[in-house]
Amino acid sequence: MPSVFRGSLLFFTSDPKDDGEQAVHHIEDGLLLVDDNGLISAVGAYADLMDTLPAGVNITDYSGKLLMPGFVDCHVHYPQTEMIAAYGTQLLDWLQTHTFPVESQFSDFDYGVGIAERFCTELLRNGTTTALVFGTVHPQSVEAFFSVAQRRNLRMIAGKVMMDRHAPATVLDTAETSYQESKALIEKWHGVDRLLYAVTPRFAPTSTPQQLQRAGQLLAEHPDVYLHTHLSENLDEIAWVSALFPDCRDYLDVYEQAGLLGKRSVFAHGIHLCDRECERMAASDSVIAHCPSSNLFLGSGLFNLKRMDDYGIRVGVGSDVGGGSSFSTFDTLADAYKIQQLQGVNLDPYRALYLATLGGARALSLDGRIGSFKPGLEADFIVIDPNATDFLAFRTQHCNSLKELLFVLNTLGDDRLIAATYILGELAHSRAQPPLSTGE
Ligand code: GUN
Ligand code: ZN
């Protein structure tokens, strides 16, 4: 017997930047059917599908609410959950003052489990069903994260940080141990259930050239794992990279010389790239995770989305918690809009929601599994309540089109809009019955 959900369906089948409104699918009164394996088996109008339903099937009725594919967060740090909203400084000082001391605690597996539980609960409360996640340098941090994600049946990508210089000893490995530990984690976890591995050198300044070479070796030995790192976020960082790697043409070249570019390589930020770097990003089909709330919070700069589009670079969006100041994709999209406004460009709400769903899935090469509503895809979806608060009910009454409604929701929305989150067709979060938060 399928699980059947009724509501207003909204999903994308291509990028609105290419196909305009043809990319947007809105079925006002729709049905989403999910089979026993948690895969979507049918999508369509209630009027068309209701006669095909088996007799006696139970329909979960979300009439008046929007059903969308779950959000995809293309860059986030689970160990930084406890230090979100840390006051004061920009990237390099923020890492030393706040980040490294917090991350040093994750040599303790149980500590990692507690934070991973809270992190996953927070993602689901905010409608995020898949994320590309940084651990810490400790392999136990990734063991902890994957154990929690596996128990919750989540589709997640994560990896152990590789860093062998310019940080306290409590968060350092070596080129050799980072290689061995990453390899063991890949062998244990990559492709197990819904989990995938990302080779994760933190960023160029905290890795020796030898360690970056070892990261490249891991990718060469395991061609279907991901590469996840930071790139060109902050001007002091960029100056430091050019001092540390005088033989490289630019920041991206540091990674390129180590063999780290490719279609499963995701670089967070990419705010200050030169033309050559953009050309190489596009030619290698590498991906940028744009993290608007982090870029504002850490004062890093204004990301030029149109320039990336013009180069044909794939872009996803990320919260970058704890550099980012919210787990909510609505906050991320609201900040993305404001960043483009400051550059005289409007980010259309369809494009924004595409980037948070199918665009994110494409950025992570997961569009064959998640990101849209189509038979065969995994049924990770969210239920959005446009009347979640008295004020939203008032404001949305004054919307005259779907596009306007979505823009208002993107701009004003937060976790209260997420009435429910489903993983493989099973309820994983409901605002009506908030799950008790496990962990610390
Ligand atoms: N660059 C290197 N490490 C980090 C980090 O933890 N957060 C952000 N935003 N940038 C980084
Ligand atoms: Zn980051």
The CATH number of residue 134's host domain is: 3.20.20.140
Cβ of residue 294 lying under 6 Å from some atom of ligand 1: yes
pLDDT bracket for residue 435 (50, 70, 90): very low
> At 339, is the pLDDT very low, low, confident or very high (cuts 50, 70, 90)?
very high
Is there a domain that residue 347 lies in? Answer: no
Same domain, 50 and 98: no
Calculate how far, in angstroms, residue 318's C-alpha sits from the geometric centre of ligand 1. Answer: 13
State the residue range of the domain holding 21: 3-70+372-439
């009435």: which residue's tokens?
419
Task: Let me know whether 185 and 229 are in one domain.
Answer: yes
User: Is 248 in the same domain as 102?
Assistant: yes
Mean predicted confidence (pLDDT) in 404-421: 98
**Is there an atom of ligand 1 within 6 Å of 230 CB?**
yes
Q: Decide if 285 is inside a domain.
A: yes
Q: Are residue 57 and residue 199 in the same domain, yes or no? A: no
Output the pLDDT for position 188: 98
Contact, 5 vs 337, CB < 8 A? no
Q: Does 181 share its domain with 258? A: yes
Give me the pLDDT at residue 433, please: 66
* pLDDT range class, residue 432, cuts 50, 70, 90: confident
Q: How far is the CA of 230 from the centre of ligand 2 (A)?
A: 6
Q: Based on the fold, state whether residues 101 and 66 are members of the same structural domain.
A: no
Answer yes or no: is the C-beta of 288 below 6 A from any ligand 1 atom: no
Same domain, yes or no: 230 and 258: yes
pLDDT tier for residue 397 given thresholds of 50, 70 and 90: very high
Confidence at residue 332, expressed as pLDDT on a 0 to 100 scale: 98
Task: State which of 327, 357, 387 marks the end of a domain.
Answer: 327
Q: 289 CA to middle of ligand 2, Å?
A: 9
- Domain assignment of residue 301, yes or no: yes
Q: According to the model, what pLDDT value does residue 88 have?
A: 87
Q: What angle (nearest 5°) sits at the alpha carbon of residue 84, between those of residues 172 and 153? A: 80
In angstroms, the CA 219 to CA 301 distance is 31
Instruction: Answer whether 421 contacts ligand 1 (Cβ < 6 A).
Output: no
Give the total number of structural domains in the chain.
2
Task: Choose among 386, 363, 352: nearest CA to 24.
Answer: 352
89 with 60, same domain?
no
The answer on pLDDT for 26 being more than 50 is yes
Ligand closest in space to the Cα of 79: 1
pTM tops 0.95: yes
**CATH (domain of 418):** 2.30.40.10
Q: Do 200 and 247 belong to one domain?
A: yes
Q: What is the pLDDT of residue 68?
A: 98
The phi and psi torsions of 81 (rounded to 5 degrees) equal -55, -40
- What percent of the chain has a predicted confidence (pLDDT) above 70? 98
- Which residues are CB-neighbours of 436 under 8 A, at least 6 positions away? none
**What's the CA-to-centroid distance between 95 and ligand 1, angstroms?**
7
Is residue 247 pLDDT above 90, yes or no?
Answer: yes
Residues 124 and 249 in one domain: yes
* Ligand 1 pocket, mutate which of 77, 95, 133, 269 (most atoms under 8 A from CB): 95
User: Among residues of the chain, what percentage have pLDDT more than 90?
Assistant: 97
- Confidence at 440, pLDDT banded by 50, 70, 90: very low
> 439 pLDDT exceeds 60?
no
List, in order, residues 6 or more apart from 103 with CB less than 8 Å away: 79, 80, 136, 137, 161, 171
CA of 234 to the centre of ligand 1 (A): 10
Distance CA 29, CA 184 (A): 48
Render pLDDT for 43-94 as a digit per residue (tens, 0 to 9).
999 999 999 999 999 999 999 999 999 999 999 999 999 999 999 889 999 9
Assigned domain for 352 exists: no
Please check whether residue 395 lies inside any domain of the structure.
yes
Residue 77 CA, closest ligand 1 atom number: 6
